[in-house]
Amino acid sequence: MSGAAVTIRRLERSFGGNAVLNGVDLDVAPGEFVSLIGASGVGKSTLLKIVAGLDEATAGILRVDAGTKRPEVRMMFQEDRLLPWRTVLGNVVLGTRGREADGAEILHAVGLGERGDDYPAVLSGGQRQRAALARALLHQPDLLLLDEPFGALDALTRAAMQELLSSLLRQSPRTVLLVTHDVDEALLLSDRVIVMRAGRIARSLALPGPRPRPRGDAELARLKEELIGSLLHDEGTADTDKPRRVKRELQPHT
Amino acid sequence: MTDAVDKTAPARIVEQQERVPGLLRSVGWHLLPWLLPFVLLVLWHWSAVSGHLNRSVLPGPLDVVDVAISLIERGQLQHHLIVSLRRVAVGFGLGAVTGLALGIVVGLSTTARQFADLTIQMVRTVPHLALVPLMIFWFGIGEEPRVLLVALGVVFSVYINTVSGIRSVDPKLVEMGRSYGLTKPQLIWSIILPGALQQILTGIRYALGVAWLTLVVAETIASREGLGFLVQDARELLRLDVIVLVILIYAAAGWLADLLTRSIEARLLSWHPSYSSRAARS
Ligand SMILES: Nc1ncnc2c1ncn2[C@@H]1O[C@H](COP(=O)(O)OP(=O)(O)OP(=O)(O)O)[C@@H](O)[C@H]1O
Ligand SMILES: [Mg+2]
């Protein structure tokens, strides 16, 4: 199976006393596509950055294992983060040497075959995200980390990008960890959906059948309700803290 | 918060480019900036020949041309011009390279910043022209004090803009670079310096102006060569035409330098939407 295996044990990360990740346990099998959902600020991006090596955990174990070789891990951010002073192709081959031909091929695969010599400034938002995806894919990563990659796109472009991603993954499978706010996207693309709550993994829901799944399936609709339910429950628990604190603060005045 | 809306104001008219026939319009467009200087020149000439202008106050353009020709024939103008240009070039080069190097080190390293920035900022507050007497005392009236003064004038504006340019590079781009496995030198060369380039160039352009200004002052004081000396000498001999000529040369040189840096900017920043109408590489 192609792709890296990820093992996370009791992972913690705090920012100056504020514990954001609070003992995360997660196993991702090689080639598995796992989606991560959860309320805003729950620590999804933080987790992804630690896995990408852009941030250090305060405690815990993280292992990314791609067999005998050093695992290639690439991250795609919510913003395209293309370098405005490099052409699209120059961006795609960033950090490599002599891979212009491969870069052009991948650009072709994401539908930007003709745009390699343009600067990012003249591309549309969706085209820029496709260029960013091409850049992430050029490295043939064993583990692909996607942090709300399509969040800023309109519904139509997003659907097209989801198609594109799943067809590219069909051609060359790899392990993917996707953070998304879009439950439909998670259900469509992944093998498993993980719900994060209070800096932990609260639920892990394996999805039936091969991906991508048909949109509008009855079983999926039920799962969606269930996931949204657990997300709402999350906000409920988050809110219970606040009134208590407010009450304490108000006491001297009453 | 309900300011009265002026209902009578005319609807905003969307500006449209007029479509005057191509070539004529393009030639006219490029000549337009020269119209005002030309009119002023004609006015100047007219005032001089018609006697409205007292020539002991301001000589006419033809007088200036005459004196230019005679100075060139005696080989003086070229000589002083070259001396001055050399001083500016050496001083500017020295100052720009130093400012750039200092700025890059301080911009990239928090330790270097903590160590050196305060000192540099304090030294910067001294107007460098105030050092003219000291420089002459130390170095006499040779080349060194002039070149050093120009360098001093240049170094800070390049330094400050380099540091702030580097500091203002989008940290998200740097983070992206790290996640794509760029080494530190690659990160600096591919992300940090290009990101800071626009502001560095702004600093350099400003520094060129400072360099000329410094040169004028530095040459006017105790000098035996250079355009500044020519002016000083002319003042003693009451040669107004020479003074006006040199002022015009200063203006032309400053303008040419600006033109040069602008074209370098346009070249280096061709990816930047505000520097080229077509961001695509042809
Ligand atoms: N560098 C940092 N310094 C201090 N606090 C941080 C830092 N990075 C993240 N945090 C905090 O960690 C918490 C989780 O942030 P994170 O970006 O991981 O959330 P998220 O789950 O990705 O949210 P969203 O869905 O809105 O993107 C937030 O409260 C945030 O303020
Ligand atoms: Mg996030």
> Is the confidence at residue B79, as pLDDT, over 90?
yes
CATH number at residue B206: 1.10.3720.10
Greater confidence (B192 vs B271) lies with B192
The token duo for A205 is 């829901």
Average pLDDT over residues B164-192: 93
pLDDT at B137: 85
Does one domain contain both B14 and B64? no
pLDDT at A219: 80
> Is the confidence at residue B11, as pLDDT, over 80?
no
For residue B265, list chain A residues with Cβ-Cβ distance below 8 A.
none
Average pLDDT of every residue of chain B: 86
Q: What is d(CA A25, CA A7) in angstroms, rounded to the nearest whole number?
A: 8
Shortest CA distance from B195: residue in chain A: A85
The three-class DSSP label of residue B254 is: helix
Residues of chain A with pLDDT under 70: 1, 233-254
Shortest CA distance from A48: residue in chain B: B179
The structural domains of chain A, with segments of one domain joined by +, span: 5-72+140-236, 76-124
Q: pLDDT digits over A205-218, tens only? A: 888 877 777 777 78
Nearest CA to ligand 1 atom 24: A40
Fold of A5-72+140-236: Rossmann fold (3.40.50)
Domain tally for chain B? 2
For residue B274, tell me if it sits in a domain.
yes
Orientation angle between helical segments B143-167 and B110-124, nearest 10 degrees: 130
**Are residues A122 and B280, on separate chains, in Cβ contact within 8 Å?**
yes
Q: pLDDT band for B13, please (50, 70, 90 cuts).
A: low
For residue B153, tell me if it sits in a domain.
yes
pLDDT at B15: 53
End-to-end CA distance of chain B: 50
Does one domain contain both B23 and B122? no
Does one domain contain both B204 and B78? yes
For residue B9, tell me if it sits in a domain.
yes
The token duo for A21 is 């990740």
Q: Does A128 touch chain B (CB under 8 A)?
A: no
Nearest CA to ligand 1 atom 29: A41
Does one domain contain both B14 and B131? no
Q: What is d(CA B254, CA B79) in angstroms, rounded to the nearest whole number?
A: 19
Atom of ligand 1 nearest to the CA of A44: 21
Average pLDDT over residues B208-231: 86
Does one domain contain both B95 and B227? yes
Q: pLDDT digits over B140-152, tens only? A: 877 888 899 999 9
Does one domain contain both B9 and B75? no
Q: DSSP label at B272?
A: S
Q: pLDDT digits over B49-63, tens only? A: 888 888 788 898 999
For residue B52, tell me if it sits in a domain.
no
Average pLDDT over residues B169-196: 93
**Are residues B179 and A75, on separate chains, in Cβ contact within 8 Å?**
yes
Residues with CB under 5 A from ligand 2 (ion): A 45
The token duo for A164 is 């594109």
**Which candidate from A52, A77, A119 shows the least CB-CB separation from B279?**
A119
Choose the residue to mutate in A11, A22, A42 for probing ligand 1, maximizing ligand atoms within 8 Å of C-beta: A42
Judged on CB neighbours under 10 Å (0-12, 13-18, 19+), A175 is buried
pLDDT at B16: 54
Q: What is the pTM of this model?
A: 0.78
Parent domain of B74: 59-281
Atom of ligand 1 nearest to the CA of A196: 21
> Is the confidence at residue B9, as pLDDT, over 60?
no
> Is the confidence at residue B138, as pLDDT, over 70?
yes
**Are residues B279 and A121, on separate chains, in Cβ contact within 8 Å?**
yes
